[in-house]
Amino acid sequence: MRVAVGKLVFDVDVAGPEGGEVVLLLHGFPHSRESWTDIAPLLHRAGLRTVAPDQRGYSPGARPEPVEAYALPELAADALGILDALGIGAAHVAGHDWGAVVGWYLAARFPQRVRSLTAAGFPHLDAFRNALRVDAEQREHSGYIATLSAEDAADSFLADGAAGLEGWYRQTEGVLSEEQIARYMRTHTRPGTLRAALKWYRAGTLQNDDGPLGPVTVPTTHIWSVDDPAVGVFAAESTADHMAGEYRFVRLPGVSHWQPQQVPETVADEILRRVRGD
């Protein structure tokens, strides 16, 4: 379905039992709402209703031109606007990668709208920014940010039949299936999609220390993969220092950064555990 938020129109999958507790599913880069294809049915069978949008830049009707339009407060406002448009006062939030960044922001700044948070792949933003300053391992892990923030990044990825983009999906051999790679290649080779999606990086949210996000009080689970090439152990473990409420840290050995695709059952189980308060 399409959901209007101001002048923007988002493509949103709304599914699951009517009357079920709502889980807002926020995808990362370079994915789409299809990131939750293998997880949402598991949540539906447990009685939950899911709302999975293609976020700003990924939805063709929500693709503003200025880079500054992709700052984190704007991205979070989109999520709240979608909930408002659907008549949902508060929801459980699950996010992966950039979706987790938005989730952390919502939980810290709008706790009255977030019943719980399950953040996969990306730590609390304050923990991450501190790690960039003091942890050499995290600086090495984060070298990709400069690549994705470059003005010509989309052109580089899409050159030669999108060979660079396909290589990005294949960088961890055997993690994504051929069907999954084809799914995301279709999305990001559509005109304008990748260029807009990369503006999340060009807006500078990850690097710019524009004041602390602050502690999170809502019940939260952080899922971190030991083999994640983007997030080091210091940033992941120090997320606990920014929690002021119930917190669970899940460490996944032998799993890459692509948790929703590689271990969907595990991610679904952790979302359910958090929703139920187990």
Average pLDDT over residues 97-114: 98
The tokens of 224 are what? 């971190």
Distances (CA, A) of 222 to 16, 101, 234: 24, 11, 14
CA distance 224 to 120: 6
Q: How far, in Å, are 41, 138, 189, 212, 241 from residue 141 at the CA level?
A: 33, 5, 26, 22, 21
The CATH number of 2-142+210-276, from 3.40.640.10, 3.40.50.1820, 3.40.50.10490, 1.10.3720.10, is 3.40.50.1820
- Domain residue ranges of the chain, discontinuous segments joined by +: 2-142+210-276
Rounded mean pLDDT, 157-175: 90
pLDDT digits over 60-83, tens only? 999 999 999 999 999 999 999 999
- Provide the angle, in degrees to the nearest 10, between the axes of the packed helices 125-134 and 98-109: 120
Cβ-contact 239, 117 below 8 angstroms:
no
**pLDDT tier at 210, thresholds 50, 70, 90:** confident
Percent of the chain with pLDDT over 90: 94
Residue 209 has pLDDT above 80, yes or no: no
Which residue carries 């991450």 as its tokens? Answer: 128
| Contact residues for 9 (Cβ-Cβ < 8 A; gap 6+) | 2, 3, 59, 61, 62
- The answer to whether 145 and 207 have CB atoms below 8 angstroms apart is yes
Alpha-carbon distance 93 to 78, whole Å? 14
Q: What is the residue-wise DSSP string for 211-244?
A: S----B-S-EEEEEETT-SSS-HHHHHHGGGGB-
Give residue 140's pLDDT band: very low, low, confident or very high (50, 70, 90).
Answer: very high
pLDDT at 133 over 90: yes
Q: What pLDDT score was predicted for residue 171?
A: 83
- 10 Å Cβ neighbour count for 236? 25
